[in-house]
Structure 1
Amino acid sequence: MSETAVRPGVRWGGIIGGALLALAAGAGILLLAVPDVFAVAGWIRPLLFSLRPEWFGAVVPLTLGVLVIALGVVWVVRRGTHAADREAEPTPGD
């Protein structure tokens, strides 16, 4: 029997999905708890309705850039953890 322990991988999709669900649930609870929603979040409506169509030409590439950066960070972190796991494995000659 092998003496090396295998660690389970981190499931980033589950972590990010759970964080988004927790954020949505927190926003829902906040909306239910606040007696006057428009007093708290009244700045959102003017902001949304003041958007102009020309802005989408900048918002879409900006959003894609942020997504690419986030995926790059996840890739670097995963590559680092996999490299650390490979270094921890004993070689057959040991």
Structure 2
Amino acid sequence: MPADDPVEYVRTRIRAMPARYPVRATVGAPAERVRKEISHYGTVEPIDDTSCRVEIATDSLGWATFCIGALEAPVVVHGPPEAIAYMRARGRRLTAGTQEPP
């Protein structure tokens, strides 16, 4: 193996593969906490003690939405535009599903 840790080597190679959507967001949670939850799926860079930048390169906007939504922290999605539109639509569908029937 060209690395000491074969699992980390595979993860690094997967992250380096081109993906259709580089989903970027700011998360209102410490980088260390966010890293524990999604480091296998993207990169996490601290901004300060209480927030971080996240990037998930993916071909599935549904997957990126799931990963970011599972963080249970305030999030601002910066792009790409397709990711923002997808997440808005998903949010509308989820909200509509919680409405009382007429």
TM-score normalised to structure 2 length: 0.26
Quick check: which has more Rg, 1 or 2? 1
Q: Greater share of helix residues, 1 or 2?
A: 1
Higher relative contact order (CA 8 A, sep 6+): 1
Q: Greater share of strand residues, 1 or 2?
A: 2
